[in-house]
Chains A and B, each alone.
Chain A
Amino acid sequence: MARASHPHAMAPTRPGRTRTAAPMMPAQFPLSGRYFTYTLFGATGALYLLAGLVALRVIWALGSGPAAWQSVMTQLAHPLYVLFHLVTLAAVIFVGVRFFRLFPKAQPAKIGPAKPPPQPVLHVMLYVIWVAVSGGLALVLAGGIF
């Protein structure tokens, strides 16, 4: 069953000269075909919100002394928290891959005199940078550097 679009979707500014039937969303929206992936992509926002709240809690604990810190670290070791973080990691990878596929074609052919590298090169570069930054950050957090 198709859903209705916004009642004014694609409506002209002056009212239509004859009575029209309401605009409808495409039948597969939001949970069929490729729209499912798109909806999921947007829905991962909920995970980031939660992850943000967790991060705030950790930072709060950081400023509340070693006992508070140790308490938070123990809580975060709980299997449900670990599961949550694994799911969030999967979401981030999903969003990253999807975004990286879009990024090369989103670069204008030139900006002033500057031209981007060829699209396939750009696509690979994004993964290289991602892995390098993730690896570096992981080392820092694990106490390997600093």
Chain B
Amino acid sequence: MAENRKTFVVTRFDPDRDEAPRKQSYEVPVQPDWKVLDGLNYIKDELDGSLSHRWSCRMAVCGSCGMMVNGKPSLTCKDPLSNYGDKVDVAPLANFPVVRDLVIDLDGFMEKLQKVKPWIIVAKEKAVEEGTYRQSPEELEYFRQFSMCINCMLCYSACPVVGNEPEFLGPAAIALGHRYNMDSRDEGQHERNEVFRGEGTVFACSYANECSEVCPKHVDPAAAVNQSKINAVIDWATSFVVPRGGK
């Protein structure tokens, strides 16, 4: 197998020692079928054990390994090194506070996720003995795409609004709330739409569509966010007409 060398320019940041993030270069011998993550693992295993980065499944489903590669958000276990030339710049995800090297703080994201009440809300819990809900393949299709989010947060890095408006719920959280709103088993649309009109408002979205461009799982969060705008308005308008039962 032909061996090739690439220069990885990696952002380093150790709050114990560094005032601010800095760059460090590594020469990495790469295999033709390697992804960016394989290069980073080589650096950690063979060249510099002090490099910190998150990864686990290496098959694009756990969402751990999101980083900026040559300035763009990338799921590094899925992104082939053959996409890049001799120099590969790896930095932590944009728009997030950086904890260490390539590791960002995702507690802010976890809070936003919680705000949209991402669970089935029903007035009366169904008993196990009653069996499963009936849901046709068509009804499943209404929300299936939006349930595919692996929480990799590339969309948050790409979104200019996330970078400028800290309260904005953001693409993945809104897509997840929308997923539940469109699930035929759920009765919580009104509650979620109130959240969508509230502080983190979906209306902050200004149609950049970058979230959908970078999503590695084809969730199309831009569609979810903009569909939510329509749903949120209809929910607000109908609240004057339709009486809401107390919960």
A residues bordering B, Cβ < 8 Å? 2, 5-6, 8-14, 16, 18-30, 33-35, 38, 41-42, 98-99, 102, 105-111
Partner of A16, one of B105, B160, B222: B105
Q: Can you list 21 A-B pairs with a CB-CB distance of less than 8 A? A: A6-B166, A9-B96, A10-B162, A11-B105, A11-B108, A14-B107, A16-B97, A18-B100, A20-B99, A21-B15, A21-B98, A26-B157, A26-B163, A28-B71, A28-B72, A33-B72, A34-B213, A42-B206, A102-B222, A102-B226, A105-B220
Assess the A12–B142 pair: CB atoms within 8 A: no
Chain B residue, CB-CB nearest to A30: B160
Write out the residue numbers on chain A whose beta carbons fall within 8 Å of the beta carbon of B95: 5, 9-10, 23-26
CB distance from B23 to the nearest CB of A (A): 12
Known: A12-B107, A26-B163, A41-B207. A20 touches B97 (CB 8 A): yes
Residues of B within 8 A of A (CB): 13, 15, 20-21, 68, 71-73, 94-100, 104-111, 141-142, 156-158, 160, 162-166, 182, 206-210, 213, 220, 222-223, 226-227, 229-231, 234
Report the nearest B residue to A95, measured CB to CB.
B207
Chain A min CB distance to B50 (Å): 16
Q: Which residues of chain A are near B160, meaning CB under 8 Å? A: 25-26, 29-30, 35, 38
Shortest CB-to-CB span from A13 to chain B, Å, is 6
Top 4 A-B pairs, shortest CB-CB distance? A27-B71, A106-B226, A20-B97, A12-B107
On whether the beta carbons of A105 and B222 are closer than 8 Å, the reply is yes
The residue on A at minimum CB distance from B157 is A26
Cβ of A77 to closest chain B Cβ, rounded Å: 36
Q: In angstroms, how far is the closest chain A Cβ from the Cβ of B26?
A: 20
Please, which residues of chain B bring their CB within 8 A of the CB of A2?
71, 94
State how many angstroms separate the Cβ of B203 from the closest Cβ of chain A. 13
A107 partner residues in chain B, CB cutoff 8 A: 227, 230
In the complex, chain A residues whose CB is within 8 Å of the CB of B234: 111
Closest A residue by C-beta to B103: A20
Q: Contacts A10-B97, A12-B108, A21-B98 known; A5 to B231 CB distance under 8 Å?
A: no
Residue among A2, A38, A102, A106 having the largest count of chain B Cβ atoms under 10 Å: A106
CB-CB nearest in chain B for A102 = B207
Residue pair B94, A21 in contact (C-beta under 8 Å)? no
